[in-house]
Amino acid sequence: METRKPNIVLINCDDLGYGDLGCYGSRVNNTPTLDQMAEKGIRFTNFYMASPVCSPSRGSMLTGCYPRRIGFGNFEGRGVLFPGQGVGLNPEEITIARLLKNVGYNTMLVGKWHCGDQPEFLPTRHGFDHYYGLPYSNDMGRQAGRNEREGYPPLPLMLDEEVIQEQPDQASLTERYVEQCVRFIRKNKDTPFFLYFAHMYVHLPIYAPERFLKQSRNGDYGAAVECIDWSVSVILDELKTQGLDKNTLVIFTSDNGARGDRGSSNAPLRGGKMTTWEGGMRVPCIMYWPGVIPSGQVCDEIITSMDFYPTIARFAGAGIPLDRIIDGKDISSIVLGEEGAKSPHKAFFYYHGDNLEAVRSGDWKLHIRKGDREVRELYNLREDISESHNVYEKYPEIVKKLEEYIDECRKDLGDKAAGIEGENIRPIGRVENPVPLTHYNPDHPYIIAMYDKEDTG
């Protein structure tokens, strides 16, 4: 009898920080389900997203490539995609959803996309059979404090390629997302499936359900984190109820670090979202697969979100494209707890937009730029996780080696600040005459015509 291919559930949060879960040290957010996932699976302590902001991070994770590789360094001068822009994930790119679909998987994205809102860029054009969610951030709708600002039409909730509601009640949206996930699991219980659940939380503005607000010890933020934990418990329960838990790899992570305010935490890391300090790009990552991933693993190896692509492909029996560079590496040996398994990365590069700002190799991290400033800072992350003791002058031989990696990366991917284009980058997708998905209509019966919080993320 042929062994069925494993199901894949990828859960990606928005702006969740390294220190926001109990199993990563939080003492203010209750996350019993995720803590148990970590206890019974593998928890990564040196896991990186490829960008400190959402659009490049998500495009990178889905394609297994550094953002610059796929033209996602910047978006017509902006750091992330905005409503109605004429750029997005190039239709020529091959996402992990498309790879899995090609080998018999049913695929669905529930939640935030943020890789382009024009028809050519939507999830249904990138390997997802179905899509339900917000095409970009939840602060990109009509909101207090900026109702007259250009570029923020009503927030669209989509089903496949159709807007089914404008300005939805955000406090109820996660529950609606979970319902869609459960429906998808039940419908596809007899076939291999890939479910990508991309949370709205904990991106600002935060509207959390009353139940979680009442029990939170950390305000709105803690309520949203606990709602995330609840949502994971429902999905795990459904997998077990359907007898699918032992044939499903569940991955939990975040698109970038937390902002570092309003109750969020990247502790003990320095910096946060929109920075290339550790707090901007090192995030939680837990993998859980009962009976396959050994319990109680804590992995300190350098792992990236780009590694999901070849690793999931390996588990699913899908070949990765050979006609293009894929930056991710197969980490299946690490995930499965094989003795002696090590990180396949000789170096990891920290980009902020199109600018190369830092490199890590082993325990060492060299910063060469921060925004518009050149810097020379070296840290040993094993001894100094919070990047507080610059030892640049003390280890010239380490600096020299890391500078060689920087030179290699610049040649390959480019570095705008250094005036280097890069030899192996691919174009972003473009369309002519883009239009927003929605337009404000004062006669439309919105349930919430204007979100009342002025918080934006």
Domain that holds residue 43: 7-335
Read off the pLDDT band of 1 (50, 70, 90). very low
For 231, half-sphere exposure in the C-beta direction (CA atoms, 13 angstrom radius) is 31
User: Is residue 451 in a domain?
Assistant: no
The CATH number of the domain holding residue 48 is 3.40.720.10
Q: How far apart are CA 179 and CA 174, in angstroms?
A: 9
Q: What is the pLDDT of residue 258?
A: 98
User: Is residue 27 in a domain?
Assistant: yes
- Mean pLDDT estimate for the chain: 97
User: Is residue 212 in a domain?
Assistant: yes
Active site residues: 54, 114
Let me know the angle formed at the C-alpha of 229 by 164 and 456, rounded to the nearest 5 degrees: 55
The answer to whether residues 350 and 304 touch, using CB atoms and an 8 Å cutoff, is: no
User: Is residue 445 in a domain?
Assistant: no
Question: What's the domain count of the chain?
Answer: 1
> Per residue in 220-264, pLDDT tens?
999 999 999 999 999 999 999 999 999 999 999 999 999 999 999
User: Is residue 83 in a domain?
Assistant: yes
Let me know the angle formed at the C-alpha of 260 by 24 and 360, rounded to the nearest 5 degrees: 65
User: Is residue 389 in a domain?
Assistant: no
Q: How far apart are CA 132 and CA 175, in angstroms?
A: 13
Residue in this structure with the two tokens 């018999």, named with its chain if needed: 104
Question: 54-63 and 308-316 are packed helices; what angle lies between their axes, rounded to 10 degrees?
Answer: 30
How far from 12 is each of 8, 65, 132, 285, 376, CA to CA, in Å?
A: 13, 17, 15, 9, 33
Model confidence, pTM: 0.97
Residue 398 tokens read as: 């380490």
How far from 312 is each of 15, 58, 341, CA to CA, in Å?
A: 24, 16, 17
> Per residue in 134-178, pLDDT tens?
999 999 999 998 755 556 899 999 999 999 999 999 999 999 999
> Per residue in 24-66, pLDDT tens?
999 999 999 999 999 999 999 999 999 999 999 999 999 999 9
The answer to whether residues 69 and 325 touch, using CB atoms and an 8 Å cutoff, is: yes
User: Is residue 162 in a domain?
Assistant: yes
User: Is residue 408 in a domain?
Assistant: no
